[in-house]
Chains A and B, each alone.
Chain A
Amino acid sequence: MAEQAQATDTGPRPIVPWLKLAPKPHLEGIKCACGAIYLDPKRVACSKCGEADKFSPLTLSDKGKVYVFSVVHQSYPGIKTPYVTAIVDLPEGISVRANLTDVDPEQAQKEPNKIFNLPVELVTGVAAKDREGHDVIAFSYRPSKN
């Protein structure tokens, strides 16, 4: 029965386990008692302090600021270039890697200073369709609208 239930489920799936789609798309991390925050919920222990059992779940903000970026002009077959990749600092104290959308790559290269500290917000979209027909949802960041 379980198999059958799975087969009929064609709903969207997140590209990485720390992207949660409900109730609205957001990132879910884990926080160690020492303060270190991680995305992968299955990690063995804290690589900052070494403790294994001091994690608690942490819902991460959908807003952050760009730390650094690059504009990728050469990539693997099937990946459209140029695009902006960025490291985004979230207010909780963790950095996330993602694409930066709604930013002109050429302009970013001309005026990199305008990208540093740029306030951004999380957005999601369909990135691919998997072998079972599920839409695969990826997240990126765009300049904050408010």
Chain B
Amino acid sequence: MKYLPLVWAALWRRKPRTILTMLSVVVAFLLYGLLTAVNAAFNTGVELSGADRLVTTGKYSITQVLPYGYWQQVKNMDGVEQVTFASWFGGYYQEEFNFFPQFPVDPQSYFDVYSELTIDEDQLRAFVTTRTGAVVSKTLADRYGWSLGDRIPITAGIWPLADGSNSWEFDLVGIFDTRDPAARSQHEYMLMQHEYFDEARQFGQGTVGWFISQIRDPEQAGQIAQAIDAQFANSPNETRSDTEKAFNQSFLKQMGDIGLIIQSILGAVFFTLLFLTGNTMMQSVRERIGELAVLKTIGFSGGSLLMIVLAEALLLTLMAALIGLGLAAFLLPGLAENMPGFSGLALDLEAWITALLLALLLALIVGLPPALRAQRLSIVDALSEHA
């Protein structure tokens, strides 16, 4: 620690060079922070999904509809606590680009099963009792500036009204949020009454999209899922049940390996960086051979020279990593607002720790060759060479 002033002075020996190198590393860690947060946002759905919930869809595709009558049958299954359902409305607000999901649901049971959602009790009651009522997530209400009492037009992509028109309208009676802000991106949608939807649509009456069951014992998930599917096997509407986690995971996998792509990008970034920082460190030590030889003459050991050079590299990468991550943390909230489906984009503790470990590794890789050179320095040669 007493060498710190020495290391600090050495680091700023060539200020422009150190600053430029640092800025490159800052940029790399900024990119790391942003991409990791995006990657994490994709995965939060999997991490936050309940292990005590099962999703039951059509056997061949989630797009198959199931009979409304299955609701009661699933409720009666052993081990199932409560059940709700949802359908895919597939409409859009004003223009197709404004995409967010809309689900016609049974209001009371939906909020019972999704206990991580918070909504004012009066608003929930209004949702249950208002036929054309709808509730939206706080994130959506903020994005589109909606407030209670607004009439929200939604253009149908799938379900026309009985008269063939695509123009649905819903009254905003409630705004819900999640207990954990990190889960916001998972619950960024609009809910409306299934009862009204089912009566008003042109076709498809008596069907729903999928069921969500809350089970008593997560350990039993496999058996209960099998039991549900067995119940409907050989019927015209066979089912496929899985835990919500597995369901979300497989949906994520459908996107292709986003994690792999992001890791490849980061790999390329850090490989590039390695050269850049490594070069600076080598240059810096090369220029200082004379000074280092003087230190050795005074009586510094090879080991302490090694540590001094390594500490310099570490100081450089750590400071840059912290600045880059700080910048990412600062930019993410603004970014999240402009990216539909990415509310709650943030850096978690794991991302910070991984980044700092990366900085440490980077410092070791780029610092070690020049540090070893400093350690092995021959005083006589160095002094005469740089007299």
A binds B: no
* Chain B residues proximal to chain A, CB less than 8 Å: none
* Chain A residues proximal to chain B, CB less than 8 Å: none
